[in-house]
């Protein structure tokens, strides 16, 4: 297990593991904006909104999301950093008082494909909004993330495709490591201007609202030797937490789990371990079993908008004609407000009518399902029942890799 | 003032005026699904959903909508009456326990324009969904509305355009009167099958959940003599309540108010008076001053989706560049959750980013503004302050006919 250099101000983020079962662990992540129990799922709030979900709902007992994601790439392009700065940072701009994590933009820019050109300095790309030529680098990403002011920022990385050769993956990993070093240096310069005076941070527009935490990202595609090297050298640079990037980008599922199984247990035990952009509820449980603490994924929100619900009996496609007069809730064992109130027949009608409320309600239920799964995972680990929970969860009808079972 | 024939079961709906000031009045409308204070604004729930608003929000203190509208035309075409019947009626289908009113489909079919052909029997038209040839008549409308099972159903009417000549308007009015008679007869036959045993109505699929009320609709375009005749002859047929239809369909605003001023005070004093499809907050207050009790309008929901907010300072177009860093709420004197939490700058960003949350939040605020205006109207009438309220409300900056003033 790697040793963590404590080079960063420990006050930016505190993390403590409180119970373990095998590699699975539950812990407490303390941020300036609330305490987060791990393993935790972070709903994705790309452009400053978790699509279709009001902040009151995210805070409600139904969901109780303790931390959400914001996207550097999207917010930088629109509304732009000057506007967010003028409005006092991302929290104040969107009206969210709880914790946030911002990604670095690295993955979004990479996923633009033909629209971007990667050089040593950074990535040149065309905006997906207006085609304008833009340039993102570790330094710019850190500056944008400082202006956004999330509790957790991410290093600017480069992602290799799932099927990258060893040579391609090494080239990409080496670049990511150099960018990690530059990210950290730029981040630390910016943090010098951080103002932190307890509960009521000074609201100077040019200063950071408070010291942020920075996570490093481990790359290396499907090559375990590169992954291990990436881990060691990223830890050597020293971050407040560590993420596994570059998974769920085209590789096969067993390959993904092989990487997680190899890397997660080797990640610093006293720092949060974050698996980026993964996955289905079953993926989350399986990754927790391998030692992961934090997750984000667009599945609950995106699938909600395309008529798919996650349930304890597997995935459900609300468009299906057999739900036309089905008066049961989406999931008979779910206690979320959507399941307490609305039938499959009504949700199908809303979806087929193109009504916004279909997306709103399906997204709400899906987030409730993901967040509740994490609650049950934490509870199971605390009571030494995780092995049993995992078996039951992954053996349930319809679990495993997305088949349509309800 | 016309005398009301009490031909209908009075238990379907009870109405009592509890205070007056001039022609303005506040009252209590008792339905099987709750007590409604009038004047009341009914949010429009066309396809079984008030677009972009969760039912929990409609029930919340912020909005507290006591009755919403459903559309016979839309629900008949999709999901269709067999599905709604199989799901136990509209309330059960959509998950709404409070009162509802369904329109008859007459106006929707009329507004299809070239797509419909009106005959003595009814209206033939092409579905806006799939172009299928359909036929709606008083008898069919009553049957559909019985299956929907709202507390208040509307007679099937024909609307004349705002600029209709006296001859055209008379022809249309005479047809509406014959259809009103047929509506009532069909309605009463259907009500014979109503089951009403107190709080827990028997849930037989073929029987009505409980006796409904039926409102007649006064037509006559802008011709006051025809309007008076339509009123007298509609009252002669005898309904549980009366509506003014065929306004806000192209006529000038002074013409609309002339009709309301002529007709509303002459409508049966002991029955609710409903002005269909009107209007801005100022229109509502002005119509209350002329004796109207009930309103519905798509303005708060539709304008919410196109970026327009109603405020105490007039209409506000959230797209406007001057809101880019405006950290004030939509309306500084509004206490709704949107205004308590979110800035104009954020709402503008959401709107320009095409985010669903823009529509959700603007619609919520607009409904809060309309419903709160009605609360203030009722309070003003009860405390004999309505004249003052009306003066202040219509003299506020930006009031009057929709200019953009904030």
For B133-166, what is each residue's pLDDT tens digit?
999 999 999 999 999 999 999 999 999 988 999 9
Q: What is the pLDDT of residue B398?
A: 60
Strand partners, B178: none
Q: How far is CA B91 from CA A174, B84, B97, in A?
A: 61, 9, 6
Kindly determine whether residue A357 and residue B52, on different chains, have CB atoms separated by under 8 Å: yes
**Confidence at residue B226, expressed as pLDDT on a 0 to 100 scale:** 98
| Residue A277 confidence (pLDDT) | 97
Catalytic residue list contains B103: yes
pLDDT value, residue A68: 98
CB A191 within 8 A of CB A240: no
| pLDDT above 90 (res B383) | yes
Cα-based distances in Å from B335 to A59, A288, B51, B341:
19, 43, 22, 10
What is the spatial distance between Cα A116 and Cα A112, in angstroms, rounded to a whole number? 6
* CA atoms of A103 and A46, how far apart (whole Å): 10
Which of B110-119, B167-176, B215-224 shows the lowest per-residue confidence on average (mean pLDDT)?
Answer: B110-119
Catalytic annotation, pick one of A103, A157, A293, A372: A103
Kindly list the residues from chain B whose CB atom is less than 8 angstroms away from the CB atom of residue A94: 342, 346
CB contact under 8 A, A87 and B341: no
Which residues in A lie closer than 8 A to residue B356 (C-beta atoms)?
51-52, 356, 359-360
Mean pLDDT score of chain B: 92
Give me the residue from B49, B54, B327 closest to A87, CB to CB.
B327
Strands A294-296 and B14-21: unpaired
Looking at the complex, does the CB of residue B349 fall below 8 Å from at least one CB of chain A?
Answer: yes
Residues facing A69 on adjacent strands: A44, A101
The Cα–Cα gap between B300 and B277 comes to: 12
pLDDT in tens, B186-230: 999 999 876 544 444 444 434 566 789 999 999 999 999 999 999
Q: How close B303 comes to chain A (CA, Å)?
A: 15
Whole-number Å distance between alpha carbons of B121 and B127 = 18
Whether residues B346 and A55 touch (CB distance < 8 A) is answered with no
Helices and strands in chain A, H and E counts = 15, 16
Q: Which residues of chain A have pLDDT under 70?
A: 1-11, 194-209, 397-406
Token couple for B147: 């299956």
Q: Quick check: B333 and B309 in contact, CB under 8 A?
A: no
Q: Check B346 against A51: CB less than 8 A apart.
A: no
Q: Summarize the confidence of residues B245-262 as an average pLDDT.
A: 96
pLDDT at A364: 98
B296-347 pLDDT tens trace: 999 999 999 999 999 999 999 999 999 999 999 999 999 999 999 999 999 9
**Chain B residues within an 8 Å CB radius of A355:** 47, 49, 51
Task: Label residue B293 by pLDDT band (50, 70, 90).
Answer: very high
| Minimal-distance CA residue of chain B relative to A323 | B83
How high is the pLDDT of residue B193? 74
pLDDT at B210: 72
Q: What pLDDT shows up at residue B406? A: 46
Question: Hey, are the CB atoms on A356 and B359 less than 8 Å from each other?
Answer: yes
Among chain A residues, CA nearest to B81: A325
Q: What ipTM did this prediction achieve?
A: 0.94
End-to-end CA distance of chain B: 42
Query: Which pLDDT value is given to residue B219?
Result: 97
Output the pLDDT for position B401.
Answer: 39
Q: What is the pLDDT of residue A196?
A: 46
Please indicate whether residue A103 is annotated as part of the active site: yes
Q: Bridge-partner residues for B123, per DSSP? A: B118, B136
Does B54 contact A87 at a Cβ distance shorter than 8 Å? no
Asked if pLDDT for residue B171 goes beyond 60, the answer is: yes
Angle at the Cα of B238 (from B119 to B135), degrees rounded to 5? 25
pLDDT at B115: 81
CB B48 within 8 A of CB B100: no
Helix B356-382 / helix B281-288 crossing angle, nearest 10 deg: 20
Q: Hey, of A79, A81, A319, A351, which one would you mutate to test binding to chain B, going by the most B CBs within 10 A of its CB?
A: A79
Which pLDDT belongs to residue B397?
Answer: 63
DSSP notation for A390-406: HHHHHHSTT-STT-B--
Q: Which residues of A touch B93 (CB under 8 A)?
A: 343, 345-346, 349
Give the max Cα distance, chain B: 61
A54 lies within 8 A of chain B by CB:
yes
Is B86 within 8 Å of A325 when comparing Cβ atoms?
yes
């Amino acid at each position: 297990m790697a040793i963590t250099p404590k080079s960063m101000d420990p006050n930016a983020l505190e993390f403590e593991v409180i119970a373990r079962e095998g590699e699975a662990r539950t812990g407490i992540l303390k941020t300036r904006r609330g305490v987060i129990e791990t393993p935790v799922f972070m709903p994705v709030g790309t452009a400053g909104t978790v699509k279709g979900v009001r902040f009151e709902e995210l805070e409600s007992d139904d969901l109780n999301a303790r931390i959400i994601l914001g996207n550097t790439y999207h917010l930088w392009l629109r509304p732009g950093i000057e506007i967010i700065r003028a409005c006092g940072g991302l929290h104040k701009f969107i009206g969210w008082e709880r914790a946030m994590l911002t990604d670095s933009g690295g993955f979004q820019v990479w996923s633009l494909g033909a629209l971007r050109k990667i050089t040593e300095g950074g990535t040149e790309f065309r905006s997906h909004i207006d085609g304008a030529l833009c340039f993102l680098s570790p330094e710019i990403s850190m500056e944008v993330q400082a202006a956004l002011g999330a509790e957790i920022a991410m290093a600017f990385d480069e992602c290799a495709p799932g099927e990258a050769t060893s040579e391609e993956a090494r080239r990409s990993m080496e670049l990511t490591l150099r960018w990690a070093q530059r990210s950290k240096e730029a981040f630390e310069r910016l943090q010098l201007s951080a103002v932190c005076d307890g509960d009521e941070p000074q609201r100077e527009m040019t200063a950071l609202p408070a010291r942020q935490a920075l996570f490093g990202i481990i790359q290396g595609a499907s090559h375990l030797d590169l992954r291990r090297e990436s881990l060691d050298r990223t830890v050597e640079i020293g971050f407040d937490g560590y993420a596994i990037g570059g998974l769920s980008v085209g590789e096969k599922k067993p390959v993904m789990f092989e990487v997680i199984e190899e890397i997660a247990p080797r990640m610093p035990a006293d720092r949060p371990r974050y698996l980026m952009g993964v996955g289905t509820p079953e993926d989350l449980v399986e990754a927790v079993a391998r030692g992961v603490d934090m997750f984000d994924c667009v599945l609950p929100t995106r699938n909600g908008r395309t008529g798919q619900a996650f349930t304890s009996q597997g995935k459900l496609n609300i468009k299906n004609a057999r739900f036309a007069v089905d008066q049961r809730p989406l999931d008979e064992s779910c206690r979320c407000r959507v399941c307490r109130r609305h039938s499959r027949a009504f949700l199908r009608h809303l979806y087929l009518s193109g009504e916004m409320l279909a997306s709103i309600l399906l997204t709400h239920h899906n987030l409730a399902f993901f967040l509740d799964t994490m609650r049950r995972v934490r509870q199971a680990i605390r009571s030494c029942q995780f092995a049993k929970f995992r078996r039951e969860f992954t053996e349930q009808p319809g679990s495993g890799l997305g088949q349509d079972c309800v």
